[in-house]
A = this chain, B = another copy of it.
Amino acid sequence: MNFTQINALALIELLGVLAFAFTGIIEARKKGMDIIGVYTVSMITAFGGGTLRDMMIGQYPLYWVQHSAYALMLLGFSIAATPLPAKFYQNPKVTKIFVILDALGLGLFSTAGASIAHHAGCDFYISALMGVVTGVFGGIMRDIICNEIPNVFRRNELYATCAALGSMVFLMCLYTGLNELPATLIGLTFTAVLRLVSVKYRVKLPI
């Protein structure tokens, strides 16, 4: 890997974490929570999926426990995002940027989750499943805490499906001998593009 590529992935990870955290902040604010609630929901949305994955495969220490910078950053982000007026969140341009960041985050979280499970010895199917868990369970936990039926389970545009297929594309790349970085970029791009196409054309699962 060269430094530009690694930095590109780190940047996508950062943007993905922020996008995920942001959906948590919006949801928590809608429910009238205070800053404690907003921060907790943003942390759970951003790190809940990866935490559940690591607990299920017994991988310790957890990433955010070992690297506290992310937890501190989300605290600052939660405080900063709080005084923003409701109008800001409804601005179509903000919504659009946010959907793109979320799609990139979904792609990176899913492929990274599949990769970690793969290297921990899980087989193809379980690794793909762990990719989906990493990508979507933060949002599921957010919705449960906010007392909603998880959004990802409603018949909306494709979301978990993108994570599942993207994880599988990533794993197939690995299985056919590709290196980690190109495989990640392919899986990530596949997931994000599929997500954005499905949002644009309102593609839904038939069942």
Indicate with 1 or 0, residue by residue over A32-66, a CB within 8 angstroms of chain B CB atoms.
11111100110000000001000111101110110
The reply to whether B79 and A207 form a contact with Cβ atoms under 8 Å apart is: yes
Q: What are the residues of chain B within 8 A of A205 when measuring CB–CB?
A: 34-36
A68 touches B (CB below 8 Å)? yes
Q: How many copies of this chain sit in the oligomeric assembly?
A: 3
Known: A56-B51, A145-B140. A34 touches B79 (CB 8 A): no
Q: Which residues of B contact A58 (CB under 8 A)?
A: 58, 60-61
Q: For the complex, is A10 an interface residue (Cβ under 8 Å from B)?
A: no
Residues 91-131 of chain A, each 1 if its beta carbon lies under 8 Å from chain B, else 0: 00000000000000000000000000000011111100100
In the bound complex, do residue B71 and residue A126 qualify as a contact, i.e. CB atoms below 8 Å apart? yes
Which of A11-19, A148-156, A171-179, A185-193 interfaces with chain B? A148-156
Tally of contact residues, A, Cβ under 8 A: 51
Q: A58-B61, A207-B79 are in contact. Are A36 and B152 (CB under 8 A)?
A: yes
Can you identify 27 A-B contacts, CB atoms within 8 angstroms? Answer: A31-B153, A33-B153, A34-B205, A35-B205, A35-B207, A36-B159, A37-B150, A37-B153, A37-B154, A40-B140, A40-B160, A55-B56, A57-B61, A58-B58, A58-B61, A61-B121, A64-B126, A65-B122, A68-B124, A68-B126, A71-B125, A71-B126, A82-B207, A140-B145, A144-B144, A144-B145, A145-B149
